[in-house]
Amino acid sequence: MTTLSAHQLVIDIPGRSDGTALNLSVQAGDIWGVLGPNGAGKTTLLHTLAGLRQPRSGEIHLDGRNIHQLRRKQLAQSLAVVFQERQDGFPGTVLETAMIGRHPFLAPWDVETASDLLLARQSLDLLELAHLEQRLVSTLSGGERQRLAIATALCQTPSLLLADEPSNHLDLHHQVQVMELLQRRARNDCGIFLCLHDLNLAARYCNRLLLLYPDGRACWGAKEDMLSLSALEALYRQPLTLIEHDGQQLFVPRASESPR
Ligand SMILES: Nc1ncnc2c1ncn2[C@@H]1O[C@H](COP(=O)(O)OP(=O)(O)OP(=O)(O)O)[C@@H](O)[C@H]1O
> Tell me, what's the ipTM?
0.96
How many angstroms does the Cα of residue 34 sit away from the middle of ligand 1? 14
**Which pLDDT score, from 0 to 100, does residue 111 have?**
84
Average pLDDT by stretches of 10, the chain with 260 residues: 96 95 96 97 97 97 96 96 80 94 90 92 98 96 96 97 96 97 95 96 97 96 95 95 92 79
Alpha-carbon separation of residue 205 from 69, 76, 260 (angstroms): 33, 25, 35
Which residue is closest in CA terms to ligand 1's atom 2?
14
Residue from 16, 34, 43 whose mutation best tests the ligand 1 pocket (most atoms within 8 A of CB): 43
Q: Is 13 in the pocket of ligand 1 (CB under 6 A)?
A: yes
Domains and CATH numbers, the chain: 3-229 (3.40.50.300)
Q: Is 85 in the pocket of ligand 1 (CB under 6 A)?
A: no
**Which pLDDT score, from 0 to 100, does residue 109 have?**
83
Which residue is closest in CA terms to ligand 1's atom 18?
41
Which residue is closest in CA terms to ligand 1's atom 27?
38
**Which pLDDT score, from 0 to 100, does residue 254 have?**
94
Alpha helices in the chain (DSSP H): 42-49, 72-76, 94-99, 114-126, 142-155, 172-188, 199-205, 223-226, 229-236
Which residues are CB-neighbours of 157 under 8 A, at least 6 positions away? 101, 119
Q: Is 168 in the pocket of ligand 1 (CB under 6 A)?
A: no
Cα 226 to its chain centre, rounded Å, is: 19
Torsion-angle region of residue 51: left (phi > 0), alpha (psi -120 to 50) or beta? left
Q: Is 39 in the pocket of ligand 1 (CB under 6 A)?
A: yes
Which residue is closest in CA terms to ligand 1's atom 8?
13
How many angstroms does the Cα of residue 52 sit away from the middle of ligand 1? 14
Tell me the C-alpha distance between 169 and 152, whole Å.
Answer: 17
**Which pLDDT score, from 0 to 100, does residue 45 have?**
98
Tell me the C-alpha distance between 48 and 26, whole Å.
Answer: 14
